[in-house]
Amino acid sequence: MEKIIQIQKENAQLQKHHYFEEILFSYQWWILITITVTLWVLWAVLVDKKRLKSILIVGFITSQLAIILDDIGVSLALWTYPYKVIYFTSRLNTVDITIIPVTYMLLYQYFRSWKSYLIVLALFCLFAAFVAEPIFVKLSMYKLLSWWEFWHSSPGYMLIGIFVKWLVDKLDRYTQKWKFF
């Protein structure tokens, strides 16, 4: 255990040094900052204030699922993130706490019927797996280690979207029935 602790301390120092020497203010860092700020401002302008509670639940759940799955993937050395906004995390928070939740919240808000939601969700999953992830790889912000192909992400994105819509729709029906909130 002592050897693991020592390696973790050395890794923390290397990560910190690398972040402040190579990552901070790089063009990749600025891209991540720009995406984060732009998407949250866009969301704030577009969000349906009348459905804010349900939409925020969608964002919270999708963000938590993304964080958990990201932690698992990084821990299993399936992928890594060479560039990130802050140095003391192993995940790409721009994706986990911005891109994923904002996208799913907007999908949930604008596509209420299951049919339209599933069609747009499928398009988003394909875009994420075959356009966004390869761009992040080209920009060195995402590095595949043992993850076989980009398309492996698509079913996970789809399952998250289906689960969250089902759950939040069910919560909405329940709270309306019992006049909670």
Tell me if 16 is assigned to some domain.
Answer: no
Tell me if 13 is assigned to some domain.
Answer: no
End-to-end CA distance of the chain: 48
CB 128 within 8 A of CB 100: no
Tell me if 5 is assigned to some domain.
Answer: no
Instruction: Please give the pLDDT value at position 169.
Output: 97
In whole angstroms, what is the distance from residue 63 CA to residue 60 CA?
5
Tell me if 87 is assigned to some domain.
Answer: yes
Coil, helix or strand at residue 80:
strand
Tell me if 88 is assigned to some domain.
Answer: yes
Domain span at 157: 26-178
Coil, helix or strand at residue 4:
helix
Rounded alpha-carbon distances, angstroms, from residue 128 to 57, 99, 121, 136? 22, 10, 10, 10
Instruction: Please give the pLDDT value at position 181.
Output: 53
Distance of alpha carbon 150 from its chain centroid, rounded?
15
Instruction: Please give the pLDDT value at position 180.
Output: 55
Tens-place pLDDT, residues 22-66? 999 999 999 999 999 999 999 999 999 999 999 999 999 999 999
Q: Residue 157 burial (CB < 10 Å; 0-12/13-18/19+)?
A: buried
pLDDT in tens, the chain (181 residues): 999 999 999 999 999 999 999 999 999 999 999 999 999 999 999 999 999 999 999 999 999 999 999 999 999 999 999 999 988 887 889 999 999 999 999 999 999 999 999 999 999 999 999 999 999 999 999 999 987 778 889 999 999 999 999 999 999 988 877 765 5
Please provide the DSSP assignment of 88-135 as one string.
T-SS-HHIIIIIHHHHHHHHHHH--SHHHHHHHHHHHHHHIIIIIHHH
Tell me if 76 is assigned to some domain.
Answer: yes
In whole angstroms, what is the distance from residue 19 CA to residue 135 CA?
21
Is this prediction's pTM over 0.85? yes
Number of domains in the chain: 1
What is the residue-averaged pLDDT of the chain?
93
Instruction: Please give the pLDDT value at position 146.
Output: 84
Instruction: Please give the pLDDT value at position 2.
Output: 95
Tell me if 20 is assigned to some domain.
Answer: no
Distance of alpha carbon 83 from its chain centroid, rounded?
15
